[in-house]
Structure 1
Amino acid sequence: MSRLHVFDLDGTLIHGSAAAVEIARQLGLEAETGELEREFAAGRLTPSQFAERAVALWTELTEAQVAAAFAGAPWLTGIEEVWAAIRARGERIAVISLSPAFFVRRLLDWGADAAHGSRWPSVPFRERVDPAGILDASAKVRITDALCAQYGLGRADCVAYGDSMSDAELFKVVPVSVAVNADHHVQHVATHSYRGTDLREAHALVGAP
């Protein structure tokens, strides 16, 4: 039996941080971006509003800084090892995140079969954000369903890994889920819970199919 393993990015694969935080660090805009993160977490900004304000703030962002943010992020240990083992079993890996697609897609090089993020303007930013391209929590379910159809699977074949409110809807519709260093939004709906910095340990909770 094949399965689809769906991973969140911020706070899940990246321990205690997020793509936006790591990008802001490269720009020296940690305080300003941190305020946006807090407003978003409190529900005072929608995903598209967050993107619009971040694009306006990060006007000097370059591809080199995105690459440096990705390389310097506090990733969980063992990501590529876990993904290699999943693929060796004939199973699939997807990353679905509200973060910019230009950051998320870099995980294809680590072994993900699919990597979906919000469609922000190209770097350096010269265009406005198109709200239609910005993902939200419901998009994680929609994209998972589309990937299942593509791979000949169903929701019953999915395992979700996440840490926060944006993962709750997906956790509710798949049979197996792992709350990774998670907050209260997903702790009560996850089938497994993990705190630590090693994806190998989190993945071991799922077991073989």
Structure 2
Amino acid sequence: MAWNPDQYHKFRAAREQPALDLQAMIPDLPYRRVADLGCGTGEQTLALAQRFPGAAVMGIDASAEMLAQAQAHTAAHLSFRQSDLRELDGTYDLLYSNAALQWLPDHPALLAGLWERLNPGGVLAVQVPANHDHVSHRLITETADEFTARVGRLHPFRAGAWGHTCPDARSLRRDSRRPGGKRAGSDQPGLPHRAKRS
């Protein structure tokens, strides 16, 4: 999927507050290597570089269109790289990701892989939107349910029709929850966690 940076920036203020909240929870430590996973157009990556001037800060994103705008942000210790987040290499003192990991599959394996990339005492600071109960998502689910009730399970995006699958809204909502109906994740979304490995 191609990202449109201009469309992305139309809602900058709404998206920026959770990122600022997450950054405020990051402890002040002497980080040497920092990665912003899913950096988009790089505003938060630049903020990390300004907050931690002793660190080499790298913004990583899969979208060439977003990174083209990110390149406008410059600092001596700031860089950007196009890459799939699941192919992260090297080790880091701080891994930061705001509203990006929800686009990737298999979160248990993804988080385990990120944890392995942390240096001992490193910080994993992640925020993933949990808005499945938002009115817009409920309306999508209700519409999908009405559609299914009228025409059955036939779906223009069924497996193989376009080379991929597109699950219905009800399964997306169900898959986003733990057994017992609780949302996946911490009771304090975005709370950074420190690696306690020696």
Q: Settle same-fold status: TM greater than 0.5.
A: no
Identify the TM-score tier after normalising by the shorter chain: 0.3 to 0.5
TM-score (norm 2): 0.39
Higher relative contact order (CA 8 A, sep 6+): 1
Say which one has the larger Rg.
2
TM-score (norm 1): 0.37
